[in-house]
Structure 1
Amino acid sequence: MKIKEIELFAINLPLIDPFIISYATYDSIQSIIVKMTTDDGIVGYGEAVPDEHITGETWESTFEVLKNKLAPAVIGLDPRQFEKLHDVMDHVVRPAPAAKAAIDIACFDIAGKSMNVPVYQLLGGRYHEKFPITHVLSIGAPEKMAEEAAKKMELGYTSFKMKVGTEVTTDVARIKAVRESVGEDIAIRVDVNQGWGNAATTLTALRKMEGLDIDWLEQPVLDNDFDGLVEIKAKSDVTLMIDEGLRSERDMRELIAKRAADKANIKLMKCGGIYPAMKLAVMAEMAGIECQIGSMVESSVGSAAGFHVAFSKKIMGSVELTGPIKFSKDIGDLKYDIPFIQLNEKPGLGIDVDENVLQELTAFSEKITE
């Protein structure tokens, strides 16, 4: 089996509500869909959702890297040879993780379809039966975030991820308002997206947050500040999760060596796809660090890929792949049973892509052949 053709679609996924985090506001999500076809007619789909603040890639640069470098390099290769595929891609361009993830995911989709098994069967088989979905609260006024949380509780949500990372006093007011709104039995996770900058500011915030009983604090300091995370751990009893600081095996080695965080947020777009994500998960498992599969707000294609990784590994304690329920229009049909996600048993990713919607959302496209 050989990769014969790759089509690229740069799309805009429309959001129901703006997605607001510490460093950006999004009215839509810019994504690149890869449609890969083999010489025996099997079609697989992959996705890249780059973020210049995290992966160093833009929508436009990712499209060009795929068009001019990665797609030509993998044409003619066997899509089931994941180690070789990544070695070839790593020699062509570094790091470009979101672009590589799109190729990787499409190859796994093809491999599963060729063997008539879901992708999770290629990753060691299914371990988890279902995961609860955490609702993500975008940055807003304290009362607005509290009101949204109360409404989502009525739908059955039992955990919330709060986006903060502006000014400490205002952020703490947001957390207090949500805690008062949802009561003591609901899990609240606080994601700063690097917004507090350093350990000193974070420790000030934590003193103000005493008694609010947060589940964990995610990436409060700059992405390269592993020592800042170590200081926070030494001076507080908060559970820390690393996100933007964890992209590669090198980052995971530093995390393990310094015990800089209690939890690791693995995202396919940060590390290069399913195959590298599994490597990170195994490294974390050996060190006893619980993992989460996180989201760059992907469509059903990228979200399904993340779920297959999460469902196959015991070390995965949570998932935050909620892109498809944030979009007013999606190219795929990933099903949520709010507040849970339960994967189907279809081959590959298990996603049917609506080609009409794909064309409708496409801003520009390209086809690469042998």
Structure 2
Amino acid sequence: MKIKSIKAYHVVQPFVDGPYRMSKGRVADCFDAVIVAITSDSGVTGWGEMAPLGNFYSAAFPAGTRAGVPEIAPHLIGQDPRGLAGIGRLMDTVFKGHPYIKSALDMACWDLAARAADVPLVTMLGGRESDMAETYRVVTHGTLDQMAALAKRIIAEGCRRLQVKVGGNVRDDIERVTTVASAVPKGTVIFCDANAGWTPYQARQFADATRGIDYTFEQPCTTIDENMSVRRMLDKPMVLDESVTSLGEMLEIHRRGAADGLTLKISRLGGVTQTRLIRDVAVDLGFMITVEDTGGAEIDTAAMAHLSLSTPAERRLHAIAFHEWVTVRTARNAPPVTGSHMGVPDGPGLGIDVDSSLLGEPFFEID
């Protein structure tokens, strides 16, 4: 089997609930996605998606993805898409760095390989560990009344896991989390995610003032050293997200004892291949794991669901249904969401039926 053609589409995906607000005044109105279709000489097509959250969240930006895919794609023509490790090495050889650009191409090869084998992607990723993964929802920055109302609405809709955005003015964030925790039932799982927005001094202030609230601390500071300095005085679990950029960084986090859990972003790591590798090693090292991404609709959410459900249930934290965040559709089906749980679509590969008519004209095509 050989790769015969590659198409790339640019799809803007506005948010259902309006602007997404993070610490330090960072705001995004949409996911700005690149969707890739890779077709083999046997007529099987695999799909991949990558969508940065604005230009500010990670070392990735939409225009960079659109510029980078045409640089890499010609080198993949004639390659066997099932040779996933070789595809990864080839992309790293012809285009140094920029793993986010390679993510959608890698994902499309995994989808194609699984479709050609007529098995769900979850089977190729190690096998299904459970039928559904529990999901969380995000309480973004806002006024105290807005955040309390959003948290109550999320709970009323059946979700029991909240990620509360902090990382701004410490005193304001203490009030935010205290208000949200008071507005939801006892036993609600709360993660306080600063998105690396604080100095260690600020993170310690927050942790000291909120000792009476049950929550998990997520990425309070930027570097592993900074987060480790906070962890030394912390009496709560800590999860790192932005710090997990490679296998080497994950191993350094483990060596330092800097976290109890990890959030693995598919595009930040360069695709499904590296995410699976890091996930498997991290599980063996004893970390709790969340697999998600920087954004996307049905395609990327499906990949997240397959990776989540092939993670051992006892090591899985939760998942997120990004396709429910956006106003546009890219497929005629989607990962099924029932209450606060998400599964994988039926069928081979990612299991979704992408409708190319919903994507517009490709901005790049080669065969």
The two structures have a TM-score, normalised by structure 2, of: 0.95
Distance 2:292 2:318 in 1: 6
The one-letter amino acid of 1:313's match is T
Q: Among 226, 229, 237, which residue is 1:228 paired with? A: 226
Alignment partner, residue 15 of structure 1? 15
**Residues 255-270 of structure 1: pairs in structure 2 closer than 5 A:** 255-270=253-268
The one-letter amino acid of 1:346's match is G
Alignment partner, residue 322 of structure 1? 321
Distance 2:355 2:139 in 1: 29
Alignment partner, residue 211 of structure 2? 210
Q: Among 57, 77, 80, which residue is 1:78 paired with? A: 80
Alignment partner, residue 195 of structure 2? 193
Preserved contact between residue 50 and residue 295 of structure 2 (Cα < 8 Å): no
Alignment partner, residue 344 of structure 2? 343
Distance 1:204 1:164 in 2: 13
Q: Deviations over 1:75-113 (max 9, x none)?
A: 111111111000001112232222211011101111111
Shift of residue 350, structure 1, vs aligned partner? 0.6
Alignment partner, residue 60 of structure 1? 63
Shift of residue 50, structure 1, vs aligned partner? 2.9
Alignment partner, residue 161 of structure 1? 163
Distance 1:53 1:75 in 2: 33
Shift of residue 312, structure 1, vs aligned partner? 0.8
Preserved contact between residue 112 and residue 348 of structure 1 (Cα < 8 Å): yes
Shift of residue 55, structure 1, vs aligned partner? 4.1
The one-letter amino acid of 1:273's match is G
Alignment partner, residue 150 of structure 2? 148
Shift of residue 33, structure 1, vs aligned partner? 0.3
> Secondary structure of the equivalent of 1:200?
helix
Q: Which runs of 5+ in 1 are unaligned?
A: none
**Residues 1-370 of structure 1: pairs in structure 2 closer than 5 A:** 1-17=1-17, 18-23=19-24, 24-51=26-53, 52-68=55-71, 70-196=72-198, 198-214=199-215, 216-222=216-222, 225-314=223-312, 316-332=315-331, 333-334=333-334, 335-359=336-360, 365-369=363-367
Shift of residue 60, structure 1, vs aligned partner? 1.1
Counterparts in 2 of 1:14 and 1:291: CA distance versus 1, 3 Å: same
CA RMSD of aligned residues (A): 1.5
Determine what percentage of the aligned residue pairs are the same residue.
27
> Secondary structure of the equivalent of 2:359?
helix
Shift of residue 179, structure 1, vs aligned partner? 0.7
The one-letter amino acid of 1:63's match is R
Using the TM superposition, name which of 299-308 and 51-60 deviates more.
51-60
> Secondary structure of the equivalent of 1:16?
coil
Preserved contact between residue 297 and residue 322 of structure 1 (Cα < 8 Å): no
Q: Which runs of 5+ in 2 are unaligned?
A: none
Preserved contact between residue 298 and residue 352 of structure 2 (Cα < 8 Å): yes
The two structures have a TM-score, normalised by structure 1, of: 0.94
